[in-house]
Structure 1
Amino acid sequence: MNWYVFFVRTGREEKVKQLINEWLDSEVYKPFIPLQERLFKVAGTVKKELAPLFPSYVFIESNLPDLQFLTSTNSMIYTSSDIIRLLRYSKSKAAMRDCERQVLESLYNDSYCIESSTGMIEGDNIRIISGPLQGRSSIVKKIDRHKRQAVIQLEFMGDIRLVNVALEIISKV
């Protein structure tokens, strides 16, 4: 299965996802918006909300090869004012690399959402005890305990991206 990525106008991700569902065969094209859980405290209670992991991007899962995908989505891209462009590595290579896709797939649940993780700080080290970041403390670059977030490093379409994900630190030793 290939993943393709559209760069879209900010805040229009859901609209573009709906447009793809209307224009293209749902058996062949499965659009999704990668999400992340965010934790925040309101009146002493920790609440969760979902937010786009990569704002301004809509992903499409398809088994079509690059050239066939490019040909079949071309008119939709030019017709929609909300789709800016399809991300590509080169003129003929548009599908996300397997290694990048596999890292994201290993972090996501079935709804393409990265759930919150729980960890502990032991001296200068972090130990993640549950959640999708468990066993992956090496990709954590920074922790903001007050915002309940970790900044992780991911490779995305050939670039290194720093992305915020939910991380609850339960103790510091």
Structure 2
Amino acid sequence: MPKPQEVTWGMAKHTLFEKGNRAERDEKQMWYVVQVRSGTEEEIKAQCRKVVDQTVLQGCFIPYFIGLKRYLGAWHREKKILFPGYVFMITNDVERLFLELKKVYGLTKLIGVGTDIVPLTEEEINFLKICGKKEMIVDMSVGIIKDGGLIIQQGPLQGFEDHIKKIDRHKRRAYLELTLGEKRCVAQVGLEVTEKS
């Protein structure tokens, strides 16, 4: 195994292998999470698409969710960021992506553990793909509470009931506890509970 060299970027450290040992990295496309200042997600995504080499960055997106908000006497659908403060990136060369991201102003760090940048697991990717679909927008779900347990009857949260840690029936929201690259986070999604027995 080659001796790793450490490169510091912002608050993150990334382990790079010395030149000539690139064959050891996985060529499969991997999904990574970059932490940014909350409220700058769209700006960072636009910068990435403009200044980062697109042969390195195969995808850059921000997952959203559809929620309901009551105003003017009625419920209105609103699109909000699912994971505020995070931008998702797809690459098969995290070492080059890491270096390319130095061109982007306002990034905090790539999410990882210690000095390792950790890609999302298959389970995390599947959650985003199933719930967010191609558009990466998690639509409203509808369910009932029966004998103290939540049953999702319709919507993207079907099958993900175990991830729901809290329900706010008044705001029509569910709070999911998830991990993103080894970092635990809570995400809000739209959930209308139509019945409780």
* Structure 2 counterpart of 1:159: 183
Whether contact under 8 Å (1:66, 1:92) holds in the other structure is no
3-state SS of 1:111 partner: coil
8 Å CA contact 1:66–1:94 kept in 2: the answer is no
Task: Tell whether 2:170 aligns with 1:142.
Answer: no
Secondary structure at 2:113's aligned position in 1?
coil
2:152 and 2:99 map into 1 onto residues whose CA distance is 44
The Cα of 1:93 is off from its aligned counterpart by 3.2
AA partner of residue 76 (structure 1): K
Counterpart in the other structure of 2:74: 45
Q: Does 1:120 align with 2:149?
A: no
Give the Cα separation in 1 of the matches to 2:52 and 2:135. Answer: 21
Alpha carbons 1:67, 1:92 under 8 Å: kept: no
Aligned residues of 1:39 and 1:47 also touching (Cα < 8 A): yes
CA separation of 1:27 and 1:66: change in aligned 2, threshold 3 A: closer
In the alignment, structure 1 residue 2 sits paired with structure 2 residue 26:
no
Could you tell me whether the CA contact under 8 Å between 2:178 and 2:186 is conserved in 1?
yes
Give the deviation of 1:25 after TM superposition: 3.5
Q: 1: distance between equivalents of 2:151 and 2:162?
A: 10
Shift of 1:41: 2.0
Structure showing greater radius of gyration is 2
- Cα drift, residue 129 of structure 1: 0.3
Q: How does 1:45-64 map to 2 (within 5 A)?
A: 45-62=74-91, 64=92
Q: 2:121 aligns with which of 97, 115, 119?
A: 97
Name 1:36's counterpart in structure 2.
Answer: 65
Scaled by the length of structure 2, the TM-score of the pair is: 0.77
Match of 1:13 in 2: 41
Note the aligned Cα RMSD (angstroms). 1.8
Give the Cα–Cα distance (whole angstroms) in 1 for the partners of residues 83 and 155 of structure 2. 20
Assess if the C-alpha contact under 8 Å between 1:141 and 1:153 holds in 2.
yes
Call closer, same or farther: CA 1:94–1:138 in 2, change over 3 Å.
Answer: closer
User: Does the aligned pair in 1 maintain the 2:34–2:87 contact within 8 Å?
Assistant: yes
Q: Which runs of 5+ in 2 are unaligned?
A: 1-28
Q: In 2, are the aligned partners of 1:119 and 1:127 still within 8 Å (CA)?
A: yes
Tell me the percent identity.
29
Give 1:92 shift.
4.2
Shift, 1:60, TM fit? 1.1
Task: Compute the displacement of 1:145 (Å).
Answer: 0.6
Name 1:172's counterpart in structure 2.
196
Greater mean deviation of Cα atoms: 91-100 or 159-168: 91-100
Number of equivalent positions? 168
